[in-house]
A and B are shown apart, each in its own frame.
Chain A
Amino acid sequence: MKIKSNLINLATRALAESANVQTMTHFANELIYDYDIYKRTGFRESMAIPNRDAASQIVNDMVSAGLFNHFITLLIRIHTEGYQGHKTQIAHLKEIIKEIQDMGFIYDQHNKMFVEDPDVRRTRNWGGLLQGHEYFLSFLRLDIVGNSKLVRKYPENIIKATYDDLRIMVQDAIEKRNGRIWNWEGDGGMVAFYFANKNLSATLSGMEVINELFIYNKMKCRLDEPLQVRIAVHSGICDYTEDMEELMKNDVIKQTIEIEAKHTQPNSLTISSSVCSSFESALYNCFTLIPVDARTKYCTYQIKLEQ
């Protein structure tokens, strides 16, 4: 992400006017481990670094490390909550936030971070998750039933068009709820939700795909049979990584895949007990419970019409 030079200058001025070198170095240490302002600036430890120079170094280092928005988030927190028991006013904060918003980011009050405005761009990490950091996410896993048979039975162009139809349905359902497709293999994939009520967003996305697929199969399916999917929703802690192979080793993701593969009927959605238990009773009661073992029950949703 490119940060405009006027924003860098503004942030430098804000930092220089709001903290001394020692304090701003502490700020930097919150995000960059063992941050040494002397090594970074080249000043000898016996010399006093001018505030402006230290501020400029810190801000530019944050930009280089891809942590500029996170640094501003830190300054917002310090401004609102104080720092180490002291009230600390950060200058020019409103202008800085406005500039970041003009770049296509929104400040998410709940998660206290800048995230991309979905009307402007949609990246895998919402413009905010950091590689190697832990986050609590909800996942939706979708898989086409009998993919291998379908691929053998129908011409390639029919399969491609049908699977594209499904992808559009999934995208429509998840994008309005700020989900992100983390993996899509043509016959299915994995979607992540981070913001707001992520369990609810993932579940309602799954329900919407089931409903739309019902209509699609009645009216528009290109195959001589209904297109069927299995969908599962689960949530938990996950280390964010761009490496898909690494991500698939995560326990929560593996559990989501298992719920979809082993506990989900065709054209239905299965929701793990931990996700279900987060719902209000009215929504919870509209699902059917399926026992998994003596202690565990999943919730399931499908559209099945009377015969």
Chain B
Amino acid sequence: MNLYIFSNSKNIEKFFEKIKKSKDYTLNILPAKDIKSVEKKAKPASLIYADISSYTETERPKILRQLYKLNDFTFGIIDPKNTIKDTAELFHNGASDYIGRDLFKDPLMTKRLKSVLDFKKIEVADDKYKKKIATEFIISGTDWSSVKAGKEYTFTFMFIELDNRKEIKELGTDHFKKIMATFESYIKHIIAPLNGKVWMWMDFGGLVLFPFDGIKCDAILTALRLFLNSKILSAEHLHVDLLLSYRIAVHIGNTAYKSRGQTGTLISDTINSIFHLGQKFAEPGTFHLTDEAFAFTPEGLEDCFIPAGEYEGRNIMKFKTIL
């Protein structure tokens, strides 16, 4: 993220010293007068801070009016002398941050900038994929209240299937049934807060469906927890000397919806794709995302995934191997 600071203050560099060290931001400190040509100097979708103490009393209203008119930037005001009387007005006119005298005493933390960007729901500038597929969504929502059988919607799909089938079957029919019942029960428990449903269930796993609101995909975090906690699940709930290994794959796509048990007649490319990905592409003990799902990876988790090649016309990302 590009950051442009317009200030003549000798303390401004010290204030942004932590930001300068951060790899997430490119810091540019420019003379206060250069704000008049901000749209030429700054890259679109950048974050701008204007140090209001660097302008005269006459200049300040003009500078603020100029900032209010900006379309392609997020801006904040630095006010080291608490000059501005009505800070709320700044936000009414589109400001995303205000740094007054007290806050200016200590170096700015990167967490503050993250809050500013979250406040404006800033998308990464070059996230073209998210913008592209947004037009193809048929939002199913955050719960099932508006989902009707027979109609098509966009959902998050989580495929999950056990790897160590032979070992489980060797334990005998009773143990096998108990293990699968425990596994399904655990999955139901962990997906419940996101209104997930175990939608298709076979011998060793199946497909979980989550409603999708088009904004975020917390199901990826749920899938990650399932992935990381496999040893805990096995040791705590199975009561046999066995650790479960399973493959998880997450995709966002469209399908007509039918209730569990009524899905036999469903014909869906999305369902076929996710099953192929989980059963034919994914290796044992791995966690994959399709490109569609990766675009909605919760912030902070993106660097945990690496490219895993292409499959059936999609780029696939894989959670890094745990050493």
Interface residues of A (CB under 8 A from B): 155, 158, 200, 204, 207-208, 211, 214-215, 218-220, 222, 224, 279-283, 286, 303-306
Contacts and interface: CB of A to CB of B under 8 A. Distances in A.
Contacts of B323: 304-306
Contacts of B224: 215
Contacts of B106: 155
Interface of B: 18, 22, 106, 109-111, 221, 224-225, 228-229, 231-232, 234-236, 241-243, 298-301, 304, 320-323
Task: Give chain A's interface secondary structure class.
Answer: helix
A200 B322 contact: no
B235 A211 contact: no
For the complex of A and B, the 5 pairs showing the least CB-CB separation, nearest first, are: A219-B300, A280-B241, A305-B320, A218-B300, A211-B228
Contacts of A281: 241
A214 B22 contact: no
A208 B231 contact: no
Contacts of A158: 109, 111
A219 B235 contact: no
A218 B304 contact: yes
Given A155-B106, A204-B235, A305 B304 contact: yes
B170 to A, nearest CB: 14
Contacts of B299: 219
B232 A204 contact: yes
B227 to A, nearest CB: 10
Nearest to A307: B320
Most A CB contacts (10 A, CB to CB) among B110, B224, B323 go to B323
Contacts of A279: 235
A282 B241 contact: yes
Contacts of A224: 18, 22, 109-111
B232 A207 contact: yes
A85 B120 CA distance: 78
Contact of A283 (B111, B229, B231): B231
Nearest to A214: B228
Nearest to B106: A155
A159 to B, nearest CB: 13
A303 B106 CA distance: 34
Contact of B231 (A215, A218, A286): A286
